[in-house]
Amino acid sequence: MGNDLASLRSSVDDYLTHISVERGLSKNTVASYRRDLRRFLQFLEDDSAPLQLNSENLQRYVAWLRIDSEDREHLGESSIARAVVSIRNLSTFIAKESGGEDSLREFAPPKIPGRLPKALTMDEVNRLIEGSGSPANPWAPRDQAIVELLYASGARISELIDLNLTDIDLRDESVVVKVSGKGGKERFIPVGSFARTALQKYLDDQRPTLAMKSSRTSKNEPLFLNTRGSRLSRQSAWQIIQEAAERADLTVEVSPHSLRHSFATHLLDGGADIRVVQELLGHSSATTTQIYTLVTIDKIRESYSTAHPRAR
């Protein structure tokens, strides 16, 4: 990629056409990408640093976005994180098109502190699952199995990508997944029929093809593979969730952790004991799990204030 602004603008136009026409993302999603990328181009144009798509410039851009200014719209941390993903996806596209190196491959979106993600509704979960299994997605069996398993197990994204074939047995109707949590502590999580069906389809229809692309053999065969036949990375799994949300045209924030939060919240809404949820999540203390009850408590308060004759 050339370092001149015209070349970068051309790449942005090509990328927006790619996600609109070839990947079939919604108009709203494409418009969000367009805003994020044009804002970044404007920053590069006004900045004194060399015009390059690299981690140093992106880091400085994030810092610039966090400065309050009357000249531009204020962005919250979640919007800044989304902007980073937009730029990083552009970098990946340019690298694939040019055959060069993706200079932003390891650049992670900024963490959003001090706030739990909002639990998804069941409709939003279903739409996310449908988005991951879209016919327009060539890796639909794998991606749908990932989304189904994250929601069915409440596993952390790091725990999911660390799963090996030996950690799950689909021969029984009641499937249990062995997860290695923090500190190497193992726990066993039952998963339902939807996740079982999605995993079986991935293992039968797609994983053998992906496995053939790797010349390496390993004692511990990864459950989820990337397009090179290697273990799927945390970053790639995160991006799979984001792309599923884009295909579903979801306007709420969606991440692997929001699926974990939704898992816990929906169990508690359904009457599950908090100690059971604590065990499933792998929390060493019930105090940590209790933070997941806040949404449930809010719903109880709302129902009380609506239904009780002397609540208002």
Residue tagged active-site, from 38, 66, 96, 182: 182
Residue tagged active-site, from 33, 61, 151, 292: 292
Residue tagged active-site, from 196, 231, 260, 266: 260
Contacts of 219 by beta carbon, 8 Å cutoff, 6+ apart: none
Token pair for residue 199?
């995993």
Query: CA 104 to CA 119: how far, in whole Å?
Result: 30
Please say if 260 is a catalytic residue.
Answer: yes
Contacts of 185 by beta carbon, 8 Å cutoff, 6+ apart: 282
Q: By three-state DSSP, how is residue 180 classified?
A: strand
46 burial (CB, 10 Å; 0-12 / 13-18 / 19+) is: exposed
Helix (H), strand (E) at residue 176: strand 175-180
Please say if 283 is a catalytic residue.
Answer: yes
Size (the chain), residues: 312
The total of other beta-carbon atoms located within 10 Å of residue 98's CB is 12
Which phi and psi (to 5°) does residue 97 adopt?
Answer: -70, -35
Q: Are the C-beta atoms of 19 and 33 separated by less than 8 Å?
A: yes
Query: CA 221 to CA 292: how far, in whole Å?
Result: 33
Query: CA 126 to CA 243: how far, in whole Å?
Result: 15
Please say if 308 is a catalytic residue.
Answer: no
Please say if 257 is a catalytic residue.
Answer: yes
Residue tagged active-site, from 127, 142, 156, 261: 156
Please say if 182 is a catalytic residue.
Answer: yes
Sign of the alpha-carbon dihedral angle for 76, 77, 79, 80 = positive
Bridge partners of 187, per DSSP, are 179
Query: CA 41 to CA 305: how far, in whole Å?
Result: 49
Residue tagged active-site, from 142, 201, 261, 283: 283
Mind telling me the catalytic residues?
Answer: 156, 182, 257, 260, 283, 292
